[in-house]
């Protein structure tokens, strides 16, 4: 693509959802010098989300990964608000609310009314929900909808899945690629619009198999994880990884995969369902397959 044909750079980004993924995406966008508006459900949650970004920037400075001046500039470029209407002038909005189909559909329906630029990209960070379903909720803006699936922790992991639907305009995919690769410095891949896309369609059955092995008493959690770290050179074992992702997210993706494919390898084990029902979700709640703190 020539310089004449190159997609216009994104300068104004909106993020909907201030959880782990939303704040991570907000941080990498702010560190790239973009103006970022992060929307949460109320003022207290918005303030807490901004605080999480500030803490992460501070850690990067302490570890020598970021200059203090750059961290200050990134934080200055971030607004955290509770009014979705603040996204009216955004060129790109990334939805990062919890992994619930109806919640995401509602966000996209509202974004279609709020975001004024008809060429703005409306993206989802969903782990598994088909993009075409979200696109259909936007009332005439489906060609500007795609998936931008980041990985946790966002400031550290380079991969972004770009997921166009059957309705996504090719130019929108090109703009999204340029944004992730050139502006954020990430490594994008194009993934199919199917449940789980590319990475989770491979990862989730692996995590579920580890949970089943532990549930059936065939090996301890520690031995399962040590086996994959020391024997297969994985940076983290599957059970520790499931706790890091969040067991509720793992369950939600598994349910979406099973609903679409009806293959037993995607069926959530009873132990995973019980842990989520008990709100033992992993690192974020202090207990999951392991205890923390």
- The model's pLDDT over 62-80, given as tens digits with 9 standing for 90+, comes to 999 999 999 999 999 999 9
247: CATH: 1.10.1040.10
Report the distance separating Cα 2 and Cα 247, nearest Å: 45
The more confidently predicted of residues 139 and 137 is 137
In this predicted structure, what is the pLDDT of residue 6? 64
Q: Which of 7-16, 172-181, 232-241 has the lowest mean pLDDT?
A: 7-16
In this predicted structure, what is the pLDDT of residue 5? 61
Based on the domain organization, do 71 and 138 belong to the same domain?
A: yes
Instruction: Classify residue 293: in a domain, yes or no.
Output: no
What range defines the domain where residue 74 resides?
A: 12-190
Is the per-residue pLDDT at 143 higher than 80? yes
- Residue ending a domain, choose from 155, 190, 225: 190
pLDDT bucket at 3, cuts 50 / 70 / 90: very low
Instruction: Classify residue 134: in a domain, yes or no.
Output: yes
pTM above 0.95, yes or no: no
109: CATH: 3.40.50.720
76 Cβ contact partners less than 8 Å away, ≥ 6 residues apart? none
Chain centre distance of CA 167:
22
Task: List the catalytic residues.
Answer: 127, 149, 161, 200
Cis peptide before 97 (omega within 30 of 0): no
3-state secondary structure of 66: coil
- The model's pLDDT over 35-46, given as tens digits with 9 standing for 90+, comes to 999 999 999 999
Domain count, the chain: 2
* Cα within 13 Å of Cα(255), Cβ side: 13
Based on the domain organization, do 29 and 173 belong to the same domain?
A: yes
């Amino acid at each position: 693509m020539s310089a004449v044909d190159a997609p216009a750079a994104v300068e104004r980004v909106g993020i909907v959802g201030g959880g782990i993924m939303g704040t991570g995406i907000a941080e990498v966008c702010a560190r790239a010098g973009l103006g970022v508006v992060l929307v949460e459900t109320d003022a207290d949650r918005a303030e807490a989300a901004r605080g999480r970004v500030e803490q992460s920037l501070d850690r990067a400075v302490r570890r020598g990964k970021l200059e203090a001046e750059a961290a200050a500039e990134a934080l200055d470029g971030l607004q955290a608000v509770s009014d979705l209407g603040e996204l009216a002038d955004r060129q790109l909005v990334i939805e990062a609310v919890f992994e619930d189909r109806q919640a995401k559909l509602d966000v996209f329906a509202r974004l279609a009314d709020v975001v004024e630029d008809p060429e703005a990209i409306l993206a989802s960070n969903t782990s598994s929900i088909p993009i075409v379903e979200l696109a259909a909720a936007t009332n005439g803006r489906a060609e500007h909808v795609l998936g931008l699936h980041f990985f946790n922790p966002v400031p550290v992991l380079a991969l972004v899945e770009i997921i166009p639907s059957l309705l996504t305009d090719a130019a929108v995919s090109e703009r999204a690629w340029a944004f992730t690769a050139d502006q954020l410095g990430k490594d994008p891949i194009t993934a199919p619009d199917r449940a789980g896309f590319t990475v989770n369609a491979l990862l989730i059955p692996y995590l579920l198999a580890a949970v089943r092995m532990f549930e059936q008493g065939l090996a301890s959690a520690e031995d399962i994880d040590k086996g994959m770290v020391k024997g297969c050179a994985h940076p983290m074992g599957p059970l520790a990884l499931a706790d890091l992702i969040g067991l509720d997210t793992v369950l939600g993706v598994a349910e979406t995969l099973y609903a679409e494919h009806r293959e037993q390898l995607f069926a959530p084990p009873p132990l995973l369902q019980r842990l989520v029902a008990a709100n033992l979700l992993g690192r974020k709640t202090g207990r999951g397959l392991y205890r923390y703190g």
